[in-house]
Amino acid sequence: MTTTTVALTKRPAGDDVDDAGRSSTALSKRHKPDQQGLQITEPSRTSTLPAPNMLLSGHGAAVHVNRFNGDGSVLASGSFDKQIFLWRTVGDDDACDNFLCLSGHQAAVLDLCWSSDSQRIYSVGADKLVVVWDAEVGAHVRKLRAHSSFVNACAASRTQVDVFASAGDDRAALLWDLRARGPQARVQSAFPITAVALGKDDRHMFVGGIDPDVLEGAQDTITGVALSGDGAYLLTNAMDNVVRCFDVRPFCPEARLVKTFLGASHDFEKNLLRCAWSADDAKVAAGSADRFVHVWDVATTRIQYKLPGHKGSVNDVAFHPSQPIIASASSDGTVYLGELN
Q: Vertex 126, ends 244 and 152: CA angle to 5°?
A: 20
Q: Which of 258, 260, 218, 267 is nearest to 238 (CA)?
A: 218
| Radius of gyration, alpha carbons of the chain | 20
Count of CB atoms situated within 10 Å of the CB of 259: 17
Residue 248 CB burial class (10 angstroms; 0-12, 13-18, ≥19):
buried
Sheet holding 98-103, edge to edge: 63-68, 74-79, 83-88, 98-103
Q: Locate the domains of the chain by residue range.
A: 55-339
How sure is the predictor about 322, in pLDDT bands with cuts at 50, 70 and 90?
very high
For residue 23, the 8-state DSSP code is B
Of 78 and 95, more confident:
78
CA 124 to chain centre: 14
What does DSSP assign to residue 15? T
pTM, two decimal places = 0.87
**pLDDT reported for residue 220:** 87
Question: What is the separation, in whole angstroms, between the first and last Cα of the chain?
Answer: 34
> pLDDT class for 37, splitting at 50, 70, 90?
low
Q: Is 263 left (phi over 0), alpha (psi -120 to 50) or beta?
A: left
The three-state secondary structure class of 328 is: strand
Q: Span 55-339: which CATH code?
A: 2.130.10.10
Which residues 6+ apart lie within 8 Å of 329 measured at CB? 63, 64, 65, 66, 77, 287, 314, 315, 316, 317, 335
Per residue in 150-183, pLDDT (tens digit) is 999 999 999 999 999 999 999 999 999 999 999 9
Each residue's pLDDT tens digit, 261-297: 999 999 999 999 999 999 999 999 999 999 999 999 9
* Closest among 179, 198, 103, 183 to 148, alpha carbons compared: 183
> Rounded to 5 degrees, what are φ and ψ at 184?
-95, -15
Banded model confidence at residue 11, pLDDT cuts 50, 70, 90: very low
Instruction: Give SS3 for 80.
Output: coil
Residue 213 or 325, more confident: 325
Give me the pLDDT at residue 86, please.
98
Count other C-beta atoms under 10 Å from residue 300's C-beta. 9
DSSP structural state of residue 277: E
Q: Give dist(CA 261, CA 341) in Å, integer.
A: 21
One DSSP character per residue, 27-64 reads --------TT---PPPPPP-SSSSSSEEEEE--SS-EE
